[in-house]
């Protein structure tokens, strides 16, 4: 009969882990000041940011990096399509205010896109 080998090294490893201080997950990790001032993430803010990116791509507002109005209709169409996909995937899961906001932003972006792309 063969003799069973038992790994006793796990005991030492467990004892070492107990002695090492663990950083709690909930403990606030020091972050750069800019990150600490970010607004809380919510659906309306997310949709607004996509809408602003689309307006930048449509050339409706100045690019803050160049201080110029620049058009990129391919990017604008992609952002509008992305928002339409989100609209379809979230049907029935949004509050009335969120749904109205999404519908309104999409309507305005579509109208601007059609008017510019003529």
> How many H-runs (helices) and E-runs (strands) does the chain carry?
5, 0
Between the alpha carbon of residue 2 and those of residues 5, 22, the distances in Å are 9, 41
Write the pLDDT tens digit of every residue in 4-47: 666 666 667 667 666 666 555 555 556 565 557 888 889 999 99
Phi, psi of 63 (to 5 degrees): -70, 120
List pLDDT tens digits, range 46-74. Answer: 999 999 999 999 999 999 999 999 999 99
Give how far Cα 44 sits from Cα of 64, 65, 74, 87, Å: 22, 24, 24, 12
Q: What pLDDT band is residue 90 in, cutting at 50, 70 and 90? A: very high
Q: Answer whether residue 64 is part of any domain.
A: yes
**Total domains present in the chain:** 1
Please check whether residue 3 lies inside any domain of the structure: no
3-state DSSP assignment of residue 25: coil
Least confident stretch, 64-68, 73-77, 81-85? 64-68
pLDDT of residue 39: 80
Residue 13 covered by a domain? no
- State the pLDDT at residue 14: 66
Query: Which pLDDT value is given to residue 23?
Result: 57
Q: What phi and psi, each to the nearest 5 degrees, are found at residue 21?
A: -65, 135
Question: What is the span of the domain harbouring residue 48?
Answer: 40-117
pLDDT greater at residue 105 or residue 30 = 105
Q: Is residue 15 part of a domain?
A: no
């Amino acid at each position: 009969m063969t003799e069973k080998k038992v790994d006793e090294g796990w005991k030492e490893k467990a004892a070492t882990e107990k002695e090492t201080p663990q950083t709690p997950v909930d403990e606030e990790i020091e972050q750069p000041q800019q990150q600490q001032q970010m607004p809380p993430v919510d659906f309306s803010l997310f949709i607004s940011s996509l809408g602003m990116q689309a307006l930048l791509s449509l050339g409706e507002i100045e690019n803050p990096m160049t201080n110029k109005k620049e058009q990129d209709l391919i990017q604008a169409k992609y952002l509008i399509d992305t928002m339409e996909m989100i609209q379809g995937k979230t049907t029935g899961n949004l509050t009335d205010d969120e749904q109205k906001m999404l519908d309104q932003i999409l309507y305005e972006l579509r109208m601007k896109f059609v008017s510019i792309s003529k």
